[in-house]
Structure 1
Amino acid sequence: MDADERLREAAERLALTLAQGGMQKTTARVMTALLYSGQESMTAADLCAELSISSGAVSTAVKQLIPIGLIERVPAPGSRRDHYRFRHGAWASLMSQQNAMLSLMGDAAQEGIDIAGEDSTTGRRLHEMRDFYTYMSDQLIPMIDTWRQQYSERKS
């Protein structure tokens, strides 16, 4: 088995893992195809051919992956087709988006505490939830910033 076939298999295994984690299977396959591609960018037609999926499936996947910052549309001189690539810095951006969810979860817990009261059974459970999400938010932001700085220094 050559390196290209092994990379395609690795991409499919990662896509399956992502799908088991909740990502739509086709979206995961498009993402991993771009991640594992030896090309700088791929067109929708390239993705259709590579993955044996319809253009509609590629379009749907792209519409899900661009807003979360995993892939981006890039210009291709001399081509009228849209080209896509896996975005540099995608992992840190993806984790940074979790900050909003952490904040929402903490706010939801606080709302429940305000209604049920600190000393109620519900309030005690929600207090732990609020404290957990506050802690995670407090830790995640500096951790991502540190990673970005260290990664940038290593790449320089």
Structure 2
Amino acid sequence: MPGGRLTRQDRLLIADRLAAGHGYAEIARELDRPTSTISREVTRNGGRTGYRAEHAQLATGSRARRRRDSPAAESGPAIDAYGRDRAAVRQYAEHFAETMVETGLPRMASRVLSCLYTADAASLTAAELVRELAVSPASISKAVNYLESLELVRREPAPAQRHEHYLIAEDIWIQAWRTSARANANWAGTARKGAELFDPATPAGRRLERMSRFFQQLSDDMSGEGPDPEVAQDVAVILAALVHAARPLTSAQLATALDWPADRTTTALSTAKSYELFTDPLTVRTVAPDTYVVTVTRLTEAQRHALTG
């Protein structure tokens, strides 16, 4: 029945479709259920890679028995202190965690971060996280240690209490941004060492050298060392001008044609050359002193001949 409880056969179908790479929306349409129902079912039972139909069936029965036997099941309100639907809040927290999982964050770390982020309390203890997520203390400890290493969560001792409290860093998303910038810089450094080892003149060396420049550029941009938006716009104009001219031009000729100051033209040209991995398939080349032309990459000689012949 649409909207009813998932059956064992429903869960077997979900497991089969997940293994085949189907998305939540596809599975939901096949079962005539809301996509959120499938997302919630998979998230609370191991996620895309860990979902098992029989385990999910047993776990659902166990949760139902705990709710039935709990005193809160008889008198607990469905609305929290702020007038929000508890089920909707929990569903959102699960969806929030699943979104982080899809970006590469480990599942338990995602669930802990989601729980902390959606809690009205300023912080939560390990015991509160264990109770809220229904997992072991060891799982919480491992997830918090991982999040601490990324500087996304910190722990503080509670005054006059033995328990530590976990809370989200005030600048959590800035910290995440910085962590990504550092990771890109590490990729760039590793690829640069490989390029030096293999020699940039070899195919492997060229590949690693391009990879190094790509990740270094990403790291610089994320660290605030890349070009500002106005320079990026100027690069696009320079590329368009050289494409339109279809012939080599000096920086002075470009400055005159675009009615730009010389330093603005020079900055745009040098930026375009340093960002060629991002302007691909258009690349600014120097064909003579202070003379530039746009070339198109990605085409073989045979393809070029076929297009112009």
Match of 2:93 in 1: 11
In the aligned structure 2, how far is the partner of 1:126 from the partner of 1:67? 28
Shift of 1:116: 2.5
Gaps of 5+ in 2: 1-77, 226-309
Match of 1:31 in 2: 113
Shift of 1:7: 2.4
Shift of 1:35: 0.6
- RMSD over equivalenced CA pairs, Å: 1.9
Shift of 1:142: 1.1
TM-score (norm 2): 0.43
Residues 80 and 7 of structure 1: CA distance in aligned 2, closer, same or farther (over 3 Å): same
Match of 2:217 in 1: 135
In the aligned structure 2, how far is the partner of 1:8 from the partner of 1:31? 14
In the aligned structure 2, how far is the partner of 1:112 from the partner of 1:73? 39
Highest RCO, 1 vs 2 (Cα 8 Å, sep ≥ 6): 1
Q: Which has the larger radius of gyration?
A: 2
- What is the identity, as a one-letter code, of the residue corresponding to 1:95? W
Shift of 1:45: 1.1
> Is 1:99 aligned to 2:99, yes or no?
no
Q: 1:116 is matched with which residue: 198, 206, 209?
A: 198
25-34 vs 100-109, which moves further: 100-109
Superimposed CA distance per residue, residues 9-53 of structure 1 (whole angstroms, 9 cap, x where no aligned partner): 111112122233333322211111001101111111111111111
Q: Is the contact made by 1:8 and 1:33 (CA closer than 8 Å) also made in structure 2? A: no
Match of 1:48 in 2: 130
In the aligned structure 2, how far is the partner of 1:110 from the partner of 1:26? 34
Q: Is the contact made by 2:181 and 2:220 (CA closer than 8 Å) also made in structure 1? A: no
Superimposed CA distance per residue, residues 35-93 of structure 1 (whole angstroms, 9 cap, x where no aligned partner): 11011111111111111112121112111112211111123333221111111101111
Percent of residue pairs identical: 28
Q: Is the contact made by 2:127 and 2:137 (CA closer than 8 Å) also made in structure 1? A: yes
Superimposed CA distance per residue, residues 104-147 of structure 1 (whole angstroms, 9 cap, x where no aligned partner): 2212222222222222222222222111112112111117xxxx
Gaps of 5+ in 1: 144-156
- What is the identity, as a one-letter code, of the residue corresponding to 2:139? A
> Is 1:69 aligned to 2:165, yes or no?
no
Residues 55 and 129 of structure 1: CA distance in aligned 2, closer, same or farther (over 3 Å): same
Partner of 2:138: helix, strand, or coil?
helix
Q: Is the contact made by 2:156 and 2:165 (CA closer than 8 Å) also made in structure 1? A: yes
In the aligned structure 1, how far is the partner of 2:158 from the partner of 2:196? 54
Match of 2:207 in 1: 125
In the aligned structure 2, how far is the partner of 1:110 from the partner of 1:27? 32
14-23 vs 55-64, which moves further: 14-23
Aligned residues: 143
Match of 1:79 in 2: 161
**Greater percentage in helix:** 1
Match of 2:140 in 1: 58
